[in-house]
Amino acid sequence: MGNRCVITTDENLGQKSIGLYMHWEGNPEAVEAFLWYCNLADYRPPEFDNSGWGGLAQVYGNYAASSAAGISTLDDLDLQGDNGVYIIKDWKIVQHVKVGFVGNTWEEILSNWEDIKVSKFSENLDYADQDLYELVEAIHDAQPLSVQKHVIENIKRTVTNWPTESNAQTTKGQWQKFLGVLTKTDE
């Protein structure tokens, strides 16, 4: 029993596409927090190269326990977990696929594809912003000190070099809030 999910970058859920299995913390709020942390760390997104998968697996493994994670092809992962599949791009959830219990083999899942609920992911999750910051802080506290220092330095560098366009200021405010939470200050 767990709170399972799979994260992938393939919108078509191809059999041989790469995915990360998470046995714990597979709810949308926690997945978003892990993705935010990887973004704050300036890890390359997994759609660019495999180092992104390594970074996400490491961050998750440090938090939940390495035995709770697995990287493999989608046909080898549990797509029918409690929370289904999250499709990500640029460290953001772009789609959430709830596979449900439509079959035990990949062939059965594909033959029942029309019964699978596919939903566009809403960026307006039903939880307070503070919860996201608390989750990211807990993830940060579980990382080795060298990673923690890297993340804080990257946030400082990013905020300092932030573009001045007005439409980017909201996100800059989020990064500044993450910096305050992770350094335990009001920067």
Give the residue among 40, 31, 135, 129 at the shortest CA–CA distance from 88.
31
pLDDT at 127 (0 to 100): 47
Higher pLDDT, 123 or 6: 6
pLDDT at 120 (0 to 100): 47
pLDDT at 67 (0 to 100): 76
Give the residue among 69, 55, 76, 92 at the shortest CA–CA distance from 21.
69
Q: At what angle do helices 145-160 and 169-183 cross, to 10 degrees?
A: 150
Question: At 115, is the pLDDT very low, low, confident or very high (cuts 50, 70, 90)?
Answer: low
Question: At 76, is the pLDDT very low, low, confident or very high (cuts 50, 70, 90)?
Answer: confident
CA distance 50 to 11: 17
pLDDT per residue over 7-52, tens digit each?
999 877 778 889 999 998 989 999 999 999 999 999 999 999 889 9
Q: What is the mean pLDDT of the chain?
A: 82
User: 54-58, 86-90, 139-143, 165-169: lowest mean pLDDT where?
Assistant: 165-169
pLDDT at 50 (0 to 100): 86
Neighbouring residues of 157: CB distance < 8 A, sequence distance ≥ 6: none
pLDDT at 113 (0 to 100): 54
Domain limits of the chain? 5-120
